[in-house]
Structure 1
Amino acid sequence: MTIKKSSPSFLIIHVTRIGDTIMGSAAIRAVARAFPESEITCMGHPKRFTILKLPFVNNLGAITKNRAPWLDRFSGRRFDYALVYGFDMALVKYALRLSKRVIAFRQHDETLNRQLYKMVEPPIIGSMPGVKQLLLLPEALDIKPDGFYLSYHVEEAERSWAINKLRTLFTEKSRPIVGLQIQSFPTKPYRDWPVDSFIELCKKILKSYDKTQFLLLGGPLDQDKIIPFKIVLGDKLHVLAGTLSLRESAAVMEQLDVYVGVDTGPTHIAGALNIPMVALYHCLHPSRCLQPLENSRVHVIDLPVLESECSSANNMSLISVDDVWRKVQSALNTPKIEEVSYTAGIQL
Structure 2
Amino acid sequence: MLNDNPERILVTRLSAIGDVVHALPVAYALRCKFPNARIDWLVEDKAYPLVNLNPYLDQVIILPRKYWRENLKERGFIKTARSFFGFFSDLKSNNYDLNLDLHGLFKSALSGFLSRSSLRIGPADGRELSTLFYQAKIALPDKKLHQVERNLHLAAALGADLNEVNYGLKITPVIKSRLNRLFKSEKISSEKKIVIINPFTTWESKNWYLDRYFRLAEQLIAAGYYIIFTGSRSDRTALKKFTADQSAYTNLAGKTDLPELAALYEKAQLYIGGDTGPTHLAAAVGLPVVALMGPTDPETHGPYGKGHTVIQDNSLECIRCWDHHCSRNMQCMKSISVEQVLRIAKKKLNE
1:26 to partner: Cα distance: 2.0
Computed over aligned residues only, the root mean square deviation of the Cα atoms, in angstroms, reads 2.8
Structure 1 residues 256 and 309, CA, compared in 2 at 3 Å: closer, same or farther?
Answer: closer
Aligned to 2:230: 217
Cα distance in 1 for partners of 2:287, 2:9 equals: 31
2:119 to 80, 95, 101: 101
TM-score norm. by structure 1 comes to 0.82
2:87 to 71, 87, 95: 71
Aligned to 1:301: 311
TM-score norm. by structure 2 comes to 0.81
1:92 to partner: Cα distance: 2.5
**Which structure is higher in helix share?**
2
1:154 to partner: Cα distance: 1.5
Q: Secondary structure at the match of 1:278?
A: strand
Residue type matched to 1:252 in 2?
Answer: L
Deviations 1:197-235, CA, capped at 9 Å, x for gaps: 1122122212221xx3221101124577324412x3444
Q: Percent identity?
A: 20
Cα distance in 2 for partners of 1:191, 1:84 equals: 27
Residue type matched to 1:216 in 2?
Answer: F
Structure 1 residues 200 and 31, CA, compared in 2 at 3 Å: closer, same or farther?
Answer: same
Per mean C-alpha deviation after superposition, the further-off stretch among 10-19 and 254-263 is 254-263
Contact 1:152–1:269, Cα closer than 8 Å, also in 2:
no
Aligned to 2:39: 40
Structure 1 residues without counterparts, runs of 5 or longer: 335-348
2:349 to 332, 338, 347: 332
Q: Number of residues paired by the alignment?
A: 324
Contact 1:151–1:272, Cα closer than 8 Å, also in 2:
no
Using CA pairs below 8 Å that are at least 6 residues apart, which structure has the higher relative contact order?
A: 1
Deviations 1:221-279, CA, capped at 9 Å, x for gaps: 4577324412x344423111122222222222222122111111101100111122222
Residue type matched to 1:300 in 2?
Answer: V
Aligned to 2:211: 196
1:205 to 207, 212, 220: 220
1:41 to partner: Cα distance: 0.4
Aligned to 1:165: 182
1:84 has 2:90 as partner = no
Deviations 1:304-330, CA, capped at 9 Å, x for gaps: 444655543324121121221122123
Per mean C-alpha deviation after superposition, the further-off stretch among 239-248 and 256-265 is 239-248
What pairs up with 1:187-336 in 2 under 5 angstroms? 188-209=203-224, 212-221=225-234, 225-230=238-243, 232-282=244-294, 284-296=295-307, 298-306=308-316, 311=321, 312=326, 313=328, 314-334=331-351
Contact 1:220–1:243, Cα closer than 8 Å, also in 2:
yes
Contact 1:26–1:145, Cα closer than 8 Å, also in 2:
no
Residue type matched to 1:258 in 2?
Answer: L
Structure 1 residues 173 and 29, CA, compared in 2 at 3 Å: closer, same or farther?
Answer: closer
Structure 1 residues 94 and 203, CA, compared in 2 at 3 Å: closer, same or farther?
Answer: closer
Cα distance in 1 for partners of 2:283, 2:168 equals: 9
Aligned to 1:344: none
Structure 2 residues without counterparts, runs of 5 or longer: 69-82
Deviations 1:98-142, CA, capped at 9 Å, x for gaps: 3111111245687x7466332124778x93211122223212223
1:195 to partner: Cα distance: 1.6
Cα distance in 2 for partners of 1:320, 1:109 equals: 39
Cα distance in 2 for partners of 1:4, 1:116 equals: 18
Q: Secondary structure at the match of 1:40?
A: strand
